[in-house]
Structure 1
Amino acid sequence: MNNQVLLEAPDIDSLQELFDGDFYKDIFHENSEEEYSKAIQIARECISRFLKNNKTPFSGIKPADLLSVFKTIDFNTPLENYKSLFEEIETLYVNHATAFHLPNYIAHLNCPVVIPALAAEVLISAINSSQDTYDQSAGGTFMERKLIDWTANQIGFDSNCDGIFNAGGSQSNLMGLLLARDYYSLEHLKHNIKIDGNPPESSRFRIFVSEKSHFSNLKNASLMGLGEQAVIKVKTDSQFRMNLKSLERAITNEIELGNIPIAIIGTAGTTDFGNLDPLNDLGKIANHYNLWYHIDAAYGCGLLLTDTYRHLLNGIELADSVTVDYHKSFFQPISSSAFIVRNKYHLNIIKHHADYLNPNDQDYDELPAQINKSITQSTRRFDALKLWCTLRLLGKEKLGQYTEVIIDTAKKTALFLDTQDDFELLNHSDLGALVFRYLPKNEQNYDSCAMNQYIKKTLFFTGEVLIASTKVEDKFFLKFTILNPLTTINHTKNILKKIKNHGQEYLQSI
């Protein structure tokens, strides 16, 4: 029967001849340049309209209204051409996309992006290299490695370092915590977690973080089978930096309880407050107790670019591993992040060989493979090209100047808030995150949390200004995340005026 099937199977060459030349025009190849150029041109025009038409960071559309339009889409009926395609995309997405580049967007850690990186995106998507092995990326391998070396040098690591680009800070933090766990197990318990799973002692492993550290630390501990109970949250000081005495007490307390400290995670730029833990002192404590020291610099990595504020990162060179998010503080498009280790041999802990991809007997000095350093991505975009183009065209100094402008604006805004009787400011930021609330002194009998929630929601659905929020001791606060050098003190003063106006609206309505 198999032979009969083979004899009756259609001849591939004959099958291809049934289609005319236009049949393959949608596949990116040497004969589709005209179609590609047409598509890119229409996409470019769409982007131009996005820049030209957006005067506020958000359209204000309600989720229910947007969802009703999506219900009309039928994937079984293709659109006629690129013009109709991008008209649909504008209706569903572009017209309501958040405009991070506008000065009145000061909500989350989304930076405006630089044009050299956008140009790189065109190459990345079209050529479509994968960074896992040399035979899929060639020069891309060495571009990524050189950028890792450059970043590590800015951190203060020597030539023994290594690292890899990945999707974001949460993934890098996972890598740091995984190496901390597995290194401790190998070094002190002679137990290989990669092969044998968590040892019985792992239920007593403890990781120490600031109470204001990123949520990914808890999530990663859970994913690794340690449970959130393994993460010990350490109290912070008045400026929301990890308190050193509280850390020492927490470590000794866990030891007395029979638990096993394995790591300290320092935060170089908390999401809410933009402040850095005392990195140098944390490094000394980690060394004293022989603990893995990971620094989450996803937000604060932009300080590497500036001479004026670089000292805030003093001690980062003591870390065993570091998280860097270029798409937060290097003005790169999402996604562009890296995980850096001081000792490249620690990455051998996560290496796994597959005969079809990175066989054990391959000479990796001759044919390097970045997949040896990755834990969750085999196929991986060439995101490093965006940073390469940025540094080669703009240089570190100009990026650093952007960072200095941002910090300067945040400082001026904080000083202005301090002078306002109707605002309560919780922090002065090392970076650009300010937590505050509208709290009119001459008013009585109002719910401050409800009022500030009303302010944020009203601003969002008018689309005029996008700000963030958080809770501190169960009280609702507003938050500025200034990450755009185009945002000035005049913008922030104007936003505060709008906040005050909406606050007064609320008071008049109750």
Structure 2
Amino acid sequence: MSPLASGPQGPTTLRPLLTTVLDALTAGAATRDGPLPAGGPTEVAARLREALGDPLPEHGDEDALRTLVQALAAGAADPGDPLCTAHLHCPPLAVATAADLAASVLNPSLDSWDQAPAASELEALVTRALAAEVYGETGQARSAGDALVTTGGTESNQLALLLAREHHGHTQLVCAENAHHSLRRATWLLGLPEPVTVPAPAGTMDPAALGEALTALPGPLLVAATAGTTDAGLIDPLPDIAALCETHGARLHIDAAYGGGLLFSDRHRPKLDGLARAHTVTLDLHKLGWQPIAAGLLAVRDRHDLAALAHHADYLNADDDTEAGLPDLLGRSLRTTRRPDILKIAVTLKTLGRTGLGDLVDQVCARATEFAELIHRHPHFELHDRPTISTVLFRPTGATDDTVAAVRRTLLTEGRAVLGRARLDDRLWLKATLLNPHTGADDLAALLKLVEGHTPR
């Protein structure tokens, strides 16, 4: 009989398996020997198919755990490698990953209290603390705010639009050209009108254009601003946008999936001035929070807005049970079965504290500034602009867009470096998103040298 991970024998069963997993991770990383596997999609797929064999064999293979973990590690893009910088894809903290293992072992499901007694209380405490971090720790805002745990920015943004629709009716979304694609998809999913898009001439929303749009459009209106764009890590002028929304009676949502982590840094928190004036805020701690995926949140200024999510299923939240004091969890998400992602977040917050997390934020922002300076001084590279958070855009001087794209793909195929791409100012740029606090000056220099060496002259 196959052993279980939970129950009295769980720890005894898991210990040797954890050794197998750790050894396989080490062996796979050694095989890869870089930030991602060499060979491109065809070769990587062939190696994985060979390791997997028959996905559902007639008889089991006791070595499957080692084989498949090693194959996955050998074929992974490792966000802990300093040359893996393409996306908002962070290397997770060891303590958060260990907590995630505990969550998997205990396997609470946050759709009813009797499946997750302690986890439901932990989620309530930690989400309200994070809402207080967004909206302030004193006064009425502290008692009124709350947050929901989500799978990431996409779900958080969709929930924000849903709450606006339920609060105001058939809401018109107004956003800038720099807004995340999930907002437009959410209007489609929710049956809302096509968004009205205002210009972002310098990569951020133009307040004057927003003011004109709010004056011309009939209500109800929802403005979505961005604190940390995906392409360049830019932050919209939040105080100006909040003031316009208040003047015109528009609801405000701020997508801070990337930039929300700046809240933990005394040095960088002022960049988020105006955040607390939003009705809803998207946060994503598997970016500038160093959590294993998923660790998204939607903070709400007024927890009464969450009443729109109320839902009844007698086997999960019967009226007599809730009247007797059993917490009703169905209004905490659009999902039913939900794993306790709050545990790894809680462990991280408690282990590092605001100061520890703030130090990590400061480190990656400092590395981005150093990298930008290195590019600025280099005779063969062009810098797009100084970083706002930890994203740096650059390109080889004089290169065509086709060359920029080809250099990126070559480095990917060789498994040498993982760089992103962004089109701004009608040109294609290489994108480095620095989320690894262990990245050093030598790593940054090596990354530039790789790009230079692969650029035709």
> Matched residues in 2 for 1:422 and 1:289: separation?
48
- The alpha carbon displacement at 1:489 in A equals 3.3
SS of residue in 1 equivalent to 2:432:
strand
Letter in 1 for 2:282: T
Q: 1:217–1:120: structure 2 CA closer, same or farther, 3 Å change rule?
A: same
Report the CA distance between 1:53 and its aligned residue: 5.7
Does the 8 Å contact 1:42/1:83 carry over to 2? no
Among 131, 134, 137, which residue is 2:113 paired with?
134
2:444 equivalent among 489, 492, 499: 492
Distance 1:289 1:122, change over 3 A: same
* Residues 1:87 and 2:67 aligned together: yes
Deviations 1:138-162 (A, max 9, x none): 1111111111111112112421112
Instruction: Choose the corresponding residue for 2:396, options 413, 418, 438.
Output: 438
Match of 2:454 among 502, 506, 509: 502
Q: Counterpart of 1:466 in 2: which secondary structure?
A: coil
1:233-262 CA distances to partner (integer Å, 9 max, x unpaired)?
A: 221243x22111111122223x2xxx4351
CA displacement at 1:422 relative to structure 2: 2.9
Q: Do 2:21 and 2:65's aligned partners in 1 also have CA atoms closer than 8 Å?
A: no
Match in the other structure for 2:197: 233
Question: In structure 2, what is the equivalent of residue 167 of structure 1?
Answer: 151
Sort the Cα spacing of 1:314 and 1:361 in 2 relative to 1 into closer, same or farther, 3 A.
Answer: farther
- Cα pair distance change 1:177/1:492, threshold 3 Å: same
Structure ID, larger Rg: 1
Which structure 1 segments of 5+ residues have no match? 1-22, 186-201, 441-446
Matched, 1:152 2:131: yes
SS at match of 2:175: strand
Give the counterpart of 2:341 among 364, 383, 394: 383
Instruction: Output the CA distance in 2 between the equivalents of 1:120 and 1:383.
Output: 9
**Compared CA separation, residues 402 and 79, structure 1 to 2 (3 A):** farther
Q: Give the percent of matched residue pairs that are identical in Structure 1 and Structure 2.
A: 28
Give distance in 2, aligned partners of 1:82 and 1:45.
16
TM superposition shift of 1:395: 1.7
Tell me, in whole angstroms, the C-alpha distance in 1 between the residues paired with 2:31 and 2:46: 23
- 3-state DSSP class of the match of 2:311? coil
- Aligned CA-pair RMSD: 2.1
User: Out of 156, 171, 176, which is 1:210 matched to?
Assistant: 176
1:211–1:233 contact (8 Å) kept in structure 2: yes
Which is further off, 450-459 or 73-82? 73-82
Deviation at 1:55, TM superposition (A): 4.1
The CA deviation at 1:208 is 1.4
Q: Is the 8 A contact 1:348 1:373 kept in 2?
A: no
Shift of 1:71: 5.0
Distance 1:80 1:373 in 2: 39
Match of 2:361 in 1: 403
Secondary structure of 2:315 counterpart: coil
TM-score, L = length of structure 1: 0.83
CA distance in 1, matches of 2:220, 2:380: 45
Measure how far apart 1:286 and its partner are. 1.1
- 1:219 lines up with 2:185 in the alignment: yes
Distance in 1 between the 2:59 and 2:16 partners?
A: 16
Q: How does 1:362-377 map to 2 (within 5 A)?
A: 362-363=321-322, 366-375=325-334, 377=335
Is 1:286 aligned to residue 264 of structure 2? no
Q: Which residue of 2 aligns with 1:333?
A: 292
Alignment-mate amino acid for residue 431 of structure 2: K
Give deviations 1:147-196, integer Å, cap 9, x for gaps: 111111211242111221111110000011111122112xxxxxxxxxxx
Could you tell me how far apart the structure 1 residues matched to 2:5 and 2:239 are?
53
Q: In structure 1, how many angstroms separate the alpha carbons of the residues matched to 2:101 and 2:251?
A: 40
Summarize deviations over 1:352-410 as a string: whole Å, max 9, x none. Answer: 111111234543692222321212x1110101100111122222211110110111111
The CA deviation at 1:335 is: 0.6
- What is the aligned partner in structure 1 of residue 205 from structure 2? 242
Partners of 2:110 and 2:403 lie apart in 1 by 50
Q: How many residues align?
A: 450
Distance in 1 (alpha carbons) for counterparts of 2:48 and 2:372: 42
Unaligned runs of 5+ in 2: none
User: Partner amino acid for 1:59?
Assistant: P
1:133 Cα offset (Å): 2.0
Cα shift at 1:474: 4.3
Please give the secondary structure, in 1, of the residue aligned with 2:35: coil
**Map of 2:167 onto structure 1:** 183
The alpha-carbon distance between structure 1 residues 78 and 299, as it changes in their structure 2 partners (threshold 3 A), is: farther
From 365, 376, 380, give the equivalent of 1:418. 376
Matches of 2:438 and 2:390, distance apart in 1: 13
Which string of whole-angstrom CA distances, capped at 9 and with x for unpartnered residues, describes residues 36-91 of structure 1? 33323211222333456654101223222233345552234256544344224423
> Separation in 1 of the partners of 2:110 and 2:23?
31
SS at 1:105 equivalent:
coil
Q: 1:193-241: per-residue Cα shift (whole Å, max 9, x none)?
A: xxxxxxxxx4xx42111211111011101111124x2x12221243x22
Say which SS state the counterpart of residue 413 (structure 2) adopts. Answer: helix
Partner of 1:147: helix, strand, or coil? helix
Alpha carbons of 1:70 and 1:412: their partners in 2 closer, same or farther (altered >3 Å)? closer
Q: Secondary structure at the match of 1:226?
A: coil
Q: Partners in 2 of 1:81 and 1:101 — Cα distance?
A: 31
CA 1:363–1:113: 2 relative to 1, 3 Å: same
* 1:17-32 matches, cutoff 5 A: 23-25=1-3, 28-31=6-9
Q: Does 1:483 pair with 2:435?
A: yes
Q: 2:38·2:44 contact (CA, 8 Å) conserved in 1?
A: no
Q: Give the one of 350, 354, 372 matched to 2:313.
A: 354
State the secondary structure of the residue aligned to 1:265: strand
Q: Corresponding residue for 2:97? A: 118
Match of 2:229 among 270, 289, 299: 270
Could you say if the C-alpha distance between residues 402 and 26 of structure 1 is closer, same or farther in structure 2, counting changes exceeding 3 Å?
A: closer
Q: 2:249, 2:233 → 1: CA distance? A: 28
SS at match of 1:387: helix
Query: Are 1:164 and 1:370, in contact at CA under 8 Å, matched by a contact in 2?
Result: no
How far apart are residue 25 of structure 1 and its match? Answer: 3.2
